[in-house]
Amino acid sequence: MRKFVSHILLIFVISILKDVLCKKQNLDTKANDEKIVGGYVADIKDVPYQARLTIVTDSGAYGCGGSIISQRYVLTAAHCLARAKTVYVRVGSNYADREGALYSATKFWQHPNYNNKTIDNDVGIVSPSIPIQFDTNTKAIKLASKGRNIPAGTEALVSGWGLTSENGKGSDRIMAIRVPTVSNEDCRKSYSLITDNMICAGVPEGGKSTCQGDSGGPALTKYGQIGVVSFGIGCARPGYPGVYARVSSTNIRNWIQNITGI
């Protein structure tokens, strides 16, 4: 009888452990909200404006990217902040969850015209509770000016900690890719709802793109930061470039200036 009871208890414990592990696996998958496919291992010294955001909600936590635009503000995607209660901002680190400096923030904003169905105006701003301290590994990025035209084919540097393949694993180390911008006219052949507040980047043959975990991260060109990682179909699929919120659009640039003065 004791052996029978012990056996039942063992089965019960194993079932609980399985449930916990499954929930943890689901949370880990959710936490990597968008990463780099077809890229290379980068160094934070080369992308010192890159930030890693951990967004805490009522039901758990997940990760996004961001860019430091001043000691007081970090630019990210509006959809990253949809359910946020608290945001933790890690800067100056090659890694997603250690080293560098960590700041907490309870002040953050989504663009007032953000549309969660069309993903238009997908930008948000986070303000850490204390100013970010700058050093060799931590610096502000320059934003593209309002109305700046970005010619198709302009090379963009995109970085983050997202998945390294569709349905794959995330990278603990920061990754980067260089991809050319695509005209909105060409991008509409893949996505019908491309607006003037969006810009696309990628290669026609696929193989290079952002993925789950990179959302909110920057796309940097010689004109400054032109994009905020927003969405795409799959990861690095042929014919489907990545879509970014267009920083230089009047609608977005005016809002950033109103909030930050930048």
Contact 20, 43 (CB under 8 A): no
d(CA 91, CA 76): 14
- 111 catalytic? Reply is no
Both tokens of 132, joined, read: 């970010």
- CB-based burial label for 101 (10 Å; 0-12, 13-18, 19+): middle
How many Cβ atoms from other residues are within 10 Å of residue 171's Cβ?
22
Q: What share of the chain is helix, strand, coil (3-state, %, to 5)?
A: 20, 35, 50
Instruction: List the one residue out of 27, 197, 222, 220 whose CA is nearest residue 121.
Output: 197
Give me the catalytic one of 122, 214, 248, 249: 122
Both tokens of 117, joined, read: 């169905």
- 122 catalytic? Reply is yes
Instruction: List the one residue out of 169, 147, 161 whose CA is nearest residue 215.
Output: 161
Give me the catalytic one of 67, 93, 190, 215: 215
Residues designated catalytic: 79, 122, 215
